[in-house]
Structure 1
Amino acid sequence: MSDLSSETDRSVPGRGGSDGPVRDRDAGARSGYAAFADELVARARVVDLLALCVPPIALAAVFALPRATRRSLAFAYTDPTLLSAFTAHYVHLGADHLLGNLAGYGLLAGVGYALAVLGGRRRLFFTAFVTYLAALPFALSALNLAVPRNAIGFGFSGVNMALAGLLSILWYCYAREQFAPGASVAALPAVFFALVGWIALLALPVSTEGVGIAGLSVGVAGPLLALLYAASSEVRLPRPLRAHAKSVAARPGYGDLLAVGAVIAVGYPVVGFPSDPAGGGSVVNLYVHLLGFCLGFIAPFALLAAGVFDE
């Protein structure tokens, strides 16, 4: 949310000039990716994919409205309305802002959905998905009023950050389902603390004065709290780390999705929390982004820990 103010393959022949072992490994990898793709297609549902298309269509439709109309739908902090509290999160005044949020949504929702269906958490995903689209905008707008200012707020990025919070939960559930069935959801708060520490390092300047000290402190405290929580909760991997790594590497497609999910979970905050939030005539609302991420993580985790989504 913003505030306006061809390579050549080479193989080494074995004895007798045979490259059979290399070809066998390549064939096995192709077979593994095919099995992964087959399972993903089998578990995906047409109605799910249609539901995932609703937000981009809505965002594009709102952007097609006259600029004056779009601006009237933005959330004015000095004159808030119930309607604008919701509509502001679907409003974009610039094409660059819209395209950036559409790209972020496609990445977070697409990978999140793949993690959900292969991790057995489709119901968790769509419960959170519908809640973020329908109810979260009101919560974010209301909490925005805690920081009085003469400005307007608009953009889908607060909802995107909620999807980023959900993604880290789905990633853990997928890793647990596919590679570590004995792992417990009790480890998830450690993931949250580590990511919040990472966000603090990105969003707050790191220095020895004022706010910089706060950024450094939270950035260090986050991973430290994650380690302390893991230790106090006796969170343990059911197998040695090396065995997990071999298991991931031995499953083409499944291991790749695990890696992609981890990269997005760690990398997307770099986009959502730029070191210089001012630019292009608007200011990135880091407060709303943090709220979106925290609410997007905490609410699904609470339901998951309470056993609401247990089959």
Structure 2
Amino acid sequence: MTAPATDERDRTGDAKRRADRDFRRELLASARAIDVFALLAVPGALIAVFALPEATRRSLVFAYTDPTLRSAFTAHYVHLSADHLLGNLAGYGLLAGVGYALAALSGRRRLFFTAFATYLGAFPLALSALNLAVPRNAIGFGFSGVNMALAGLLPILWYCYARERFFPAASVAALPAVFFGLVGWIALLALPVSTEGIGLGGLAIGVASGLLAVLYAASSEVRFPPPVREHVRTVASRPGHGDLLAVAAVVAVGYPVVGFPSDPSGGGSVVNLYVHLLGFCLGFIGPFALLAGGAFDG
């Protein structure tokens, strides 16, 4: 005797709904009130700074021709227009929210908040100082450099979550290959691509980064399991957890589209692609080095 197909679909749907509820309960149980407070403190600070008079905000931006230690830090928390602020708040909410969920459910809260505190406290000064390597008569401001550091952290948290929940044999040695691949993707997004002139730059960097990713994976003896369909089914069979893994992957690959527009000028300002790239690279390299060195083990 066989059950009707509709009964089978109903049972499958009920199982997925139960799995979703279990996932939400686990996520809520993993979150801590102090963590949520720390995450919400950032948009609170950005909004508070935006509420200051415009003249005060302009005094806090980083002038490349007249840099000060104070403005090197404060500029990253200053926005001169509501659109700029809202864009960075949305980016922060997406990156910090997804990143925290991955960290909480993989037992990597310490990794997340060590990086988080470093990005907020040290990165503004570092990014401003490195900005002086490109002399120009301009001002810099906005939270996007810190957001890009969070984007650099996301692949690491994705790996930690995937290893904890799905693939315990996954090796940290694969992460640099992912990094090179993302840098190549960023080059294709940010630089014009053509077969002549400057357009060769984006194409060349993209191809070179892709080759570096492949060569690194080969030299580090990273092995990609052949039964891809089985792993896809494994992820898909766990609603909630699998959804988070997929969403985080989409954000990791998709956010550079926002951070590295092909036309960085518009609205009377220019997107600082240089500081975005610095934020992304430094945001990845530091946590990866600590993770690979075992700083967060135990």
Q: Same fold (TM over 0.5)?
A: yes
Choose which of 12, 18, 21 in structure 1 pairs with 2:8.
Answer: 21
* Counterpart in the other structure of 1:258: 245
Q: Which of 205, 211, 221 is the aligned partner of 1:224?
A: 211
Partner of 2:222: 235
Q: Percent identity?
A: 76
Q: Which has the higher contact order (CA 8 A, sep 6+)?
A: 1
Task: Give the Cα separation in 2 of the matches to 1:148 and 1:99.
Answer: 29
| 1:153 Cα offset (Å) | 0.2
In 2, Cα distance between the equivalents of 1:78 and 1:50?
37
**C-alpha distance in 1, partners of 2:3/2:155?**
50
The letter of the residue matching 1:308 is A
Aligned residue-pair number = 298
Matched, 1:285 2:272: yes
Partner of 1:296 in structure 2? 283
Counterpart in 1 of 2:84? 97
Measured after TM superposition, the shift of residue 237 of structure 1 is: 4.1
Q: 1:36 to 1:76 in 2, by over 3 A?
A: same
Q: Which runs of 4+ in 1 moved over 4 A?
A: 14-18
Decide whether the 8 Å contact of 1:180 with 1:238 is kept in 2: no
What residue number does 1:4 align with? none
What letter is aligned with 1:293? F
How far off its partner does 1:238 sit?
Answer: 5.9
User: What is the Cα deviation at residue 210 of structure 1?
Assistant: 2.9
How far off its partner does 1:39 sit?
1.0
Separation in 1 of the partners of 2:80 and 2:133?
24
2-side partners of 1:244 and 1:230: how far apart? 19
Which whole-Å deviations, capped at 9, do the CAs of 1:210-246 have from their partners, x for residues lacking one? 3211110111111221111111111124673222111
* C-alpha displacement of 1:154: 0.2
Q: Which moved more, 1:171-180 or 1:148-157?
A: 171-180
SS in 2 for 1:183: coil
1:149 aligns to what?
Answer: 136
Partner of 1:115: 102
**CA deviation map 1:164-195 (0-9, x unaligned):** 00011101111111110011101100010000
Superposition pairs for residues 259-278 of structure 1, below 5 Å? 259-278=246-265
Q: Please tell me the residue identity of whatever aligns with 1:100.
A: G
Q: Quick one: distance in 1 between partners of 2:6 and 2:285?
A: 52
User: Which deviates the most, 215-224 or 130-139?
Assistant: 215-224
Counterpart pick for 1:57 among 25, 40, 44: 44
Work out the CA distance in 2 between the residues paired with 1:18 and 1:92: 57
**Counterpart residue type for residue 200 of structure 2:** I
Whether the 8 Å contact between 1:74 and 1:154 is mirrored in structure 2 is yes
Is residue 152 of structure 2 the alignment partner of residue 165 of structure 1?
A: yes
Counterpart of 2:277, as a letter, is L
The reply to whether residue 180 of structure 1 matches residue 163 of structure 2 is no
* 1:47 corresponds to which of 19, 31, 34: 34
1:106 is the counterpart of 2:98: no
Q: Distance in 2 between matches of 1:123 and 1:147?
A: 35
Paired position in structure 1 for 2:231 = 244
CA contact 1:140–1:292 (8 Å) conserved in 2: yes
CA RMSD for the aligned pairs?
Answer: 1.4
CA drift at 1:16: 8.4
Distance 2:4 2:119 in 1: 59
How far apart in 1 are the matches of 2:48 and 2:264? 27
Matched, 1:125 2:130: no
Specify the alignment match of 1:86 in structure 2: 73
Measure how far apart 1:17 and its partner are. Answer: 6.2
TM-score (structure 2 length as normaliser): 0.97
* 1:73–1:91 CA contact under 8 A, matched in 2: yes
Alignment correspondent of 1:3: none
* Map of 2:201 onto structure 1: 214
Q: Which amino acid aligns with 2:184?
A: G
Secondary structure of 2:296's aligned partner: coil
SS at match of 2:203: helix
CA contact (8 A) 1:183 1:237 kept: no
Q: Which one is further off, 61-70 or 209-218? A: 209-218
- AA aligned opposite 1:115: L
The residue identity in structure 1 corresponding to 2:292 is A
